[in-house]
């Protein structure tokens, strides 16, 4: 496992270190899940076969350094009894701050259907049963820093998220926010468009004018138009309102995200930097120091 070190400058009661993980994509399956799931697991293992080993290495690394743990989603690649068992074991180890969910936490068969509230609801209870904190919105104070985790795995924030975030701001503590999908930032956007060949940015809150310029991957039938990334990732009023509010909050010190499987660091607001974590299934993670003098190496 390769670990990149970054630092977050924040007024802490005592400096501390956290191991930041994302996109483990555990592809586990056994006889409890049936033949169709077994076929899915076999196909996904072609890319994710080292995921369990790297997760074990990450947990061991954190334990050896007494580091706290954060995970930005897609711990599992699809829903299965074996993956849920592995998630439960993972969260029973180490010193977890928070973990947010990603879209794959609710994926029954990868790419099978539109990812919306109805689809999410089919497996949300099973995910919540193995998760260490509330999957919709959770917060935890560590050494005077308020960590907040929320679900934007389908490229949206809601009015519920805004109400809850305002309550966290009222606590008056420095905030580090954890979510799966990166928030729109110019440099990250440009890099993602290069990586995807102009198809999409895999960001939350991309302005409509930019989304309109995305290249068509193919023509989709009307009943499968959700497969078009311009439809899937287009922002909405509640999402834009939440992000606008967040950018204006001086207590926000960092945004921690994943989803794109690549490291990126960029200023999100006048007081906060957004760190996008690379994929753990590729053997990469971030080590973050939280102290009064942030440092990056």
Mean per-residue pLDDT, 201-220: 95
Would you say 227 and 149 are in contact if contact means Cβ atoms under 8 Å apart? no
> What distance lies between CA 195 and its chain's CA centroid?
19
pLDDT at residue number 296: 40
Closest of 153, 166, 145, 186 to residue 257, by C-alpha:
153
Percent of the chain residues topping a pLDDT of 90: 94
**How many CB atoms within 10 Å of residue 126?**
14
Mean pLDDT score of the chain: 96
CA atoms 21, 110, 158, 234: torsion sign: positive
Alpha carbon distance 58, 19 (integer Å): 8
Place of tokens 């074991």: 89
- Domains in the chain, start-ordered, CATH in brackets? 2-291 (3.30.750.180)
- Phi, psi for residue 57 in degrees, rounded to 5: -60, -40
What is the pLDDT, as a whole number, of residue 295? 46
Q: How do residues 169-198 score in pLDDT, each as one tens digit?
A: 999 999 999 999 999 999 999 999 999 999
Token reading at 43: 């196909």
Report how far residue 261's alpha carbon sits from residue 161's, in angstroms, rounded to the nearest whole number: 25
Q: What pLDDT is attached to residue 128?
A: 98
pLDDT for residue 293 is more than 70: no
pLDDT confidence bin for 217, thresholds 50/70/90: confident
CB atoms within 10 A of CB 34: 11
Confidence of residue 294 (pLDDT cuts 50, 70, 90): low
Cα 68 to Cα 130: distance, rounded to the nearest angstrom: 19
2-to-58, 239, 285 alpha-carbon distances in Å? 10, 34, 6
pLDDT tens digit sequence for 82-114:
999 999 999 999 999 999 999 999 999 999 999
Spatial distance between the Cα atoms of 44 and 65, rounded to a whole number of angstroms: 32
Whole-model pTM over 0.75 = yes
């Amino acid at each position: 496992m390769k670990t990149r070190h970054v630092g977050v400058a924040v007024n802490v009661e005592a400096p501390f270190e956290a191991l930041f993980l994302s996109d483990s994509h555990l592809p586990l399956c056994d006889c409890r899940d049936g033949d169709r799931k077994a076929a899915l697991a076999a196909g996904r293992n072609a890319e994710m076969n080292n995921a369990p080993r790297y997760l074990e290495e990450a947990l061991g690394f954190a334990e050896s350094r007494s580091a706290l743990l954060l995970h930005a989603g897609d711990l599992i690649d699809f829903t299965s009894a074996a993956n849920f068992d592995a998630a439960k074991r993972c969260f029973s180890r180490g010193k977890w701050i928070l973990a947010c969910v990603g879209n794959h936490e609710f994926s029954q068969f990868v790419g099978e259907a539109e990812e919306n509230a109805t689809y999410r609801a089919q497996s949300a209870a099973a995910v919540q049963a193995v998760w260490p904190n509330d999957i919709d919105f959770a917060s935890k104070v560590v050494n005077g820093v308020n960590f907040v985790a929320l679900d934007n795995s389908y490229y949206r924030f809601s009015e519920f998220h805004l109400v809850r975030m305002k309550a966290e701001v009222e606590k008056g503590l420095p905030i580090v926010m954890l979510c799966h999908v990166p928030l729109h930032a110019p440099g990250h956007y440009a890099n993602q468009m290069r990586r995807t060949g102009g198809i999409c940015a895999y960001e939350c809150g991309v302005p409509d004018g930019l989304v309109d310029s995305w290249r068509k991957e193919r023509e989709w039938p009307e009943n499968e138009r959700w497969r078009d990334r311009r439809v899937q990732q287009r922002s909405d009023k509640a999402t834009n309102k939440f992000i606008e509010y967040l950018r204006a909050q001086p207590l926000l010190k960092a945004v921690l995200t994943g989803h794109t499987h690549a490291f990126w660091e960029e200023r999100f607001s006048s007081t906060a930097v957004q760190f996008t974590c690379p994929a753990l299934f590729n053997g990469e993670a971030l080590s973050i120091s939280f102290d009064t003098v942030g440092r990056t190496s």
